[in-house]
Chain A
Amino acid sequence: MKHDVKEKSSDKADLQLSPGLWKESLRVLLKNPLAVISFIVFITICVMCIAAPLITDWDYTTMSMDRIHEGPSAEHPLGTDMLGRDMLSRMLYGGRATLRISFTAIFYSVFIGGVIGIVSGFIGGTVDMIIMRIIDAIAAIPTIILAIVVEYTLGFGVGNFMYAMAIALVPPFVRLLRTSVMSIMSSEYIEAARALGVSKFHIIVSHVIPNVAAPVLIYISNTAAEAILMCTIIGYIGIGLAPPEPEWGSMVSYGYNALRAYPHIALIPCLAVMLCVISLNFLGNGLRDALDPSIRDK
């Protein structure tokens, strides 16, 4: 080679591998105290709900009519509700239901929305136009009505409304993915890959998916909060799980009747929902700051 002088980057003494972008993002995320605390809070809530049988011996259906509306005590750390059931065990098992339904709904919506969004953004043209109009139509259906219709069709009270939630969460996700995929597809590195003869499948796997992963992650953490709220609202208006199955939304609604006299019955599930939603939102903001280099480097 007869280059006049080889250009070598100056700091070549260190042979260390530069950290991956994901690792770098994780490092930034861990430096954000609000995001870390939020993550710990949310994980704690999840772990407590999952480990419910280890935390409480009470059966969440056991009623005792002589001990209703009790305040916190050693026996019932969070008191009892209007049927004398242990609030702690109802909170934990109710959280199981709420979180399970919310996350299943998100899982379905991300899976379905992901496929539709990538296809729509990748193919474009008429296919994209038709898909987007269908998505617009779905987005126009109120979630509650959708939930009622789905429950009516598939059976009430056993959590079928999560399919309605999944459907309701699909449109914004498809829109996000479609625009992300389209902007990636119009970038020059995709053109370079096409010029190299890389197959469409490989372009999706090695360029499109890694590049949409970051916005998708941010979206999921923000949508999880939304899904928990949605699940609570559906439970609250009484089309959620059938009694005696506990679930935060319906617990708020039961407690609402005795709000003045015994506020803890409604406030405890409210507080749980609030903690989940706030921590997920803070986590989402932290993720956005960590994953979006244009914000991160400022």
Chain B
Amino acid sequence: MTNTDKLLEIKNLSVVFPSKNGVVHAVNSISYDVYRGEVMGIVGESGSGKSASAYAVMQLLASPGKVTGGDIRFEGKDVLSFSRAELQDFRGSEIGMIFQNPMQCLDPVFTIGAQLTETLYAHRKISRADAVSASVEMLRSVGIHDAENIMRRYPHELSGGMQQRVMIAIALLCNPKLLIADEATTALDVTIQDQIVQLLKQVKNDRGMSIIFITHNFGLVADICDRVSVMYGGYIMEQGTVDDVFYAPSHPYTVGLINAIPKADLLSKDRLTPIYGTPINPFSPPDGCVFHPRCTHCMDICRKSKPPVHQVSDGHTASCWLLENADKEACLNG
């Protein structure tokens, strides 16, 4: 792919959250690119820093979090140097965002219609009639047939799935080039989750939009993502296309995650293989590779120094000392 296909480039991004008990290094020098029209999955457990990197792109890190290093470029423009006004414009019109809990993002005292049109007024000069018709059309396009009726409703009158659709509609109103979905389906029931995921896929294809899909659910990654970054303890452990990551996982953590969830064949009663150990303490992360205390292949070097990023194949990288040894297969399988 050429450089112009890159919509978003994140290079060596670091994010810290200072607190009374010490500094939490939420994101440590991670890099990833998002190409036009693709879905980039960021998968990780709680505390892996998967959301913080995306919030940094939006410059929406909750206080006291701040970016301490690295470079974020959106269509070649340096996001971190944006002025307040540029940022405002950038947030609504170039990037849309949807969250885990739509109810907290919708204002309870305004109707759905008011919230949609408000978004349009904020970013475009548009007449009221046009704003309403654009809003209705947008609601239809996210699968709400009864759009006129929904426009007059208040957020609490809608189900969780419906609220999330409205959130997607609001995010899409200004034709963003990138949509960040932060655990957008986690709070929803399985059937509704499936609908929302299918909707996101459809929207992406129709508009040629890119999506950063942040989730802890490895199953969803297989469904929606083109490429995926596996994060643990603020580092990207492995990155590649979904096929690379699912069929040729190269990092013990990825292998562990895949083995820890029930297989596609649900009737298999094979024992699950958990990843043992406990989560890392964010205030005192382990030395060396952050995953080493839980890794079954831990070597001496893993305890001492951070593994470099290893090119497994074209577009497939992993950070693990095992890969530096030639007989990696033997290590992982044995």
Contact = CB atoms under 8 A, between A and B. Distances in A.
B276 A9 contact: no
Contacts of A4: 273-274, 276
B21 interface: yes
Contacts of B274: 4
Nearest to B276: A5
Contacts of A7: 276-278
A10 B277 contact: yes
Nearest to B280: A10
Interface in A153-212: none
A297 interface: yes
Contacts of B83: none
Interface in A1-26: 4-5, 7, 9-10
Secondary structure at chain B's binding surface: helix, strand, loop or mixed? loop
Contacts of A9: 278
Interface in B239-283: 273-274, 276-278
A298 B278 contact: no
| Band of interface residues on B | under 10
B283 to A, nearest CB: 11
Most buried by B among A9, A10, A297: A10
Nearest to A6: B276
Nearest to A5: B276
A254 to B, nearest CB: 48
Contacts, number: 16
B293 interface: yes
Nearest to A9: B278
B72 to A, nearest CB: 27
B276 A10 contact: no
A10 B293 contact: yes
B20 A10 contact: no
Contacts of B313: none
Contacts of A298: 19-20
B277 A297 contact: no
Contacts of A297: 19-21
A298 B22 CA distance: 10
B230 to A, nearest CB: 22
Contacts of B19: 297-298
A5 B256 CA distance: 15
Contacts of A5: 276
Interface in B1-54: 19-21
A298 B19 CA distance: 6
A99 B278 CA distance: 52
Contacts of B20: 297-298
A13 to B, nearest CB: 14
A17 B276 CA distance: 25
A118 B278 CA distance: 39
Contacts of B273: 4
A29 to B, nearest CB: 14
Interface string A257-298: 000000000000000000000000000000000000000011
Interface of A: 4-5, 7, 9-10, 297-298
Given A298-B19, A298-B20, 9 more contacts: A4-B273, A4-B274, A4-B276, A5-B276, A7-B277, A7-B278, A9-B278, A10-B278, A297-B20
Interface of B: 19-21, 273-274, 276-278, 293
8 contacts: A5-B276, A7-B276, A7-B277, A7-B278, A9-B278, A10-B293, A297-B19, A298-B19
Which 9 residue pairs of A and B lie closest in terms of their CB atoms, listed nearest first? A5-B276, A7-B276, A9-B278, A10-B293, A298-B19, A10-B278, A298-B20, A7-B277, A297-B21
